[in-house]
Structure 1
Amino acid sequence: MKAVRSLLRLMTLASEGCALPLVGGQAVMEGVLMRNGASYALAVRRPSGSISVESRLWRTIGPQGIRSVRFLRGFPVLVETLSNGVRALNRSADLSMGDDDSSPMSRWQVALTLLMALAAAVVLFVAAPHLLALGMEQLGLSGGMKGLSFHLWDGLFKFVMFIGYIAAISFMPDIRRVFQYHGAEHKTIHAFEKGGMVTVETARACSRLHPRCGTTFLLFVLSVAIVLHAVLVPLLLMVWDPSSAIVRHAGIVCFKILLIAPVSALAYEIIRYAATLKKGFWGTLLRAPGLFLQLLTTREPDDGQLEVAVAALRAALGPDSPYAGRFESPDPIVME
């Protein structure tokens, strides 16, 4: 009777034109995170074969009002997504190994992890491409930093290193399984957004590629960075151009690091705009690069992985959700 009441409530909402909740997710170690508004659910396959689910509040960064301010909200949203993702990833690693009693990461541990990740990203995708572009200049294949060709080389190396990094880690067995759970997350969300029952069978028939994937955001960050660097670096050198080449290049690398915040903010607004576009030329054009990259960051999941993703989505929506009647899978082990 409860399932019937949920379906009747769902039909009432549909007739009133209510939109589905905008759920999103992330693949973790042997599991999936599903976010629904101010909370999220983490479902992980245990060594015993059972599924554990934990529900948590989504931790926000900065004042709440900034999330309504365009061109300012992107960077705090990125930071809080990374922060919550790191916590969920660490917890999933413990659960997947059968460790129930591990203490959660402290704020300092999360901050240190994020700083280390940021440092690695700066080395790989800021400093290294800049040095390689400098090498092209030394070979006579590029002009200086005041010209466009230097930044085109820099952008090309950014994309090559980014794609190469993803392709390289995809050969690691653990990462390959994470990519399978990534595909399971997308398939389950597709099944939910299509309407009808959300089961392993309905999710299996859906695409593993999803236009709202965070992979698209990373591509836009790289693209926006290339454009802003090509415009702002020459402008900076017009007012600040030290005679020492070492100081000049070190200063420009630091300048690019400082641009991470405005770059991510602008990329976020472009993603939001792309999400509002219906099917058509511009919508397809903006979504195509992200969907193409998902061919690398997702893999076809097995039924067990889909079951975990369905459990995560069910828990994220909650037992009292009007959509609860669309789930047939039995309740997993719930760990509060």
Structure 2
Amino acid sequence: MDEQQQNIKVIKSRIGGQALIEGVMMRGLTHTAMAVRKPDGTIDVSKEAIHTSNALRIAGKIPIVRGVVMFVQSIVTGYRYLAKSAEISGMAEEEEEPESKFEQWLTKVFGEHLMKVLMGTSMVLGLALCILLFILAPALIVKGIDMLVPLGWTKSLLEGIIKMAIFIGYLAVVSRMKEMKRVFQYHGAEHKSIFCYENGLPLTVENVRKQKRFHPRCGTSFMILILIISIVVSSVVTWDNMLIRVLLKIITLPLIMGIGYELIKLAGRYDNIITRIISWPGMCMQHLTTSEPDDSQIEVAIASLEPVLPTNREEDQW
């Protein structure tokens, strides 16, 4: 490493990203950018300013609350960019089939708002599925086992183990899907490009390729932390009434998300024994959710990162 690179300050950036279909989205301090590889091999890059209401700005400064706000924002934004990337990459055209009568009716009723309705519906169904898989099903399984073999204080621990098993099993199955393998490669390219920027190196394919693909601020780490925190919170929730237990766990979800966000934020800002312990479970899980990208995918990640970089790197120091 030459003397100039040695003098470059390593920073902890606030820039975050998301892997898309044949692309990457990056969220900077003031703008969001998306880069997608088109069917003809070129890269489509778009950029838009981040508009935040006064209410959200205030909420973003309140510990715990800001975690819930950021989670909801990331879900909504993520769905929107996923839909865009599918269209630009040509995936939507490949899967396009003649509209059924039901699809024609939906188009007639909702018109130009159809995509928003579909996105909203899919988010609600996704949330319902998460509640079923990670709250209701584990509780019912443990309750059933406890009726056969009394578990005592280990009920909450077993419930947490079942949650982890479901999550890890889901990731293991999804990671074997051909389409998801490419998304996970773009996920790796996203992490590597951010590391390259944080280390103060020029954003070239060669420099990005050398970086680590496991990042402490990854969404995978956030999900693992939520599961771990939920085990602790669930340990103080009653098992006497299953309905009350499930309802209380749903009610405490925002608190769990908020705590998880604060821990991820802490891990993103500092590097010490405590933050490494916090990051370790998520970093392990990233072996399933990130893969080594090829050079063409790294090019896309760089193209999405460059438009959101601040003029002064010091402004981005977390």
TM-score range (shorter-chain normalised) is 0.7 to 0.9
Q: What residue in structure 2 maps to residue 169 of structure 1?
A: 174
TM-score, with normalisation over the residues of structure 1?
A: 0.79
Pair 1:224-2:229 in alignment: yes
The whole-number CA distance in structure 2 between the counterparts of 1:21 and 1:299 is 22
Pair 1:124-2:121 in alignment: no
Cα deviation, residue 19, structure 1: 5.6
Q: What residue in structure 2 maps to residue 150 of structure 1?
A: 155
Q: What residue in structure 1 maps to residue 242 of structure 2?
A: 249
- Deviation per CA, 1:8-49, whole angstroms, max 9, x where unpaired? xx99xx99x896752111001010011102321110001111
- Deviation per CA, 1:41-60, whole angstroms, max 9, x where unpaired? 11000111110011123465
Cα deviation, residue 208, structure 1: 1.0
Q: Check the 8 A contact 2:14/2:28 in 1, yes or no.
A: yes
| Pairing of 1:5-20 with structure 2 (within 5 A) | none
TM-score, with normalisation over the residues of structure 2?
A: 0.84
The whole-number CA distance in structure 1 between the counterparts of 2:89 and 2:128 is 28
Equivalent of 1:193, from 191, 198, 204? Answer: 198
Pair 1:55-2:60 in alignment: no
Q: Check the 8 A contact 1:21/1:36 in 2, yes or no.
A: no
Q: Check the 8 A contact 1:187/1:207 in 2, yes or no.
A: yes
CA RMSD of aligned residues (A): 2.6
The change in CA–CA distance for 1:81 and 1:91 in structure 2 (over 3 A counts) is same
Q: What residue in structure 2 maps to residue 140 of structure 1?
A: 149
The whole-number CA distance in structure 1 between the counterparts of 2:289 and 2:46 is 25
Cα deviation, residue 297, structure 1: 0.5
Structure 1 unaligned blocks of 5 or more: 1-9, 242-247, 324-336
Number of aligned residues = 290
Cα deviation, residue 260, structure 1: 1.0
Equivalent of 2:123, from 99, 111, 114? Answer: 114
Q: Check the 8 A contact 1:87/1:105 in 2, yes or no.
A: no
The whole-number CA distance in structure 1 between the counterparts of 2:80 and 2:114 is 6
Q: What residue in structure 1 maps to residue 88 of structure 2?
A: 95
Q: What residue in structure 1 maps to residue 218 of structure 2?
A: 213
Q: What residue in structure 1 maps to residue 284 of structure 2?
A: 292
Cα deviation, residue 70, structure 1: 1.1
> Which region of structure 1 is more displaced relative to structure 2, 211-220 or 165-174?
211-220
Identity of aligned residues (%): 36
Q: Check the 8 A contact 1:26/1:32 in 2, yes or no.
A: yes
> Which region of structure 1 is more displaced relative to structure 2, 294-303 or 284-293?
284-293
The whole-number CA distance in structure 2 between the counterparts of 1:291 and 1:108 is 35
Aligned letter for 1:150? K
Q: What residue in structure 2 maps to residue 317 of structure 1?
A: 309
The change in CA–CA distance for 1:305 and 1:22 in structure 2 (over 3 A counts) is same
The whole-number CA distance in structure 1 between the counterparts of 2:219 and 2:194 is 14
The whole-number CA distance in structure 1 between the counterparts of 2:176 and 2:22 is 17
Aligned letter for 1:286? I
Cα deviation, residue 257, structure 1: 1.4
Aligned letter for 2:48? R
The change in CA–CA distance for 1:300 and 1:141 in structure 2 (over 3 A counts) is farther
Q: Check the 8 A contact 1:179/1:297 in 2, yes or no.
A: yes
Report the 3-state secondary structure (helix = DSSP H, G, I; strand = E; otherwise coil) of the residue aligned with 2:80: helix
Equivalent of 2:185, from 167, 176, 180? Answer: 180
Cα deviation, residue 152, structure 1: 0.9
Q: Check the 8 A contact 1:58/1:84 in 2, yes or no.
A: no
Q: What residue in structure 2 maps to residue 81 of structure 1?
A: 74
Cα deviation, residue 107, structure 1: 4.6
The change in CA–CA distance for 1:303 and 1:79 in structure 2 (over 3 A counts) is same
Q: What residue in structure 1 maps to residue 255 of structure 2?
A: 262
Segments ≥4 residues shifted beyond 6 Å: none
Q: What residue in structure 2 maps to residue 3 of structure 1?
A: none
The whole-number CA distance in structure 2 between the counterparts of 1:136 and 1:60 is 48
Aligned letter for 1:225? S
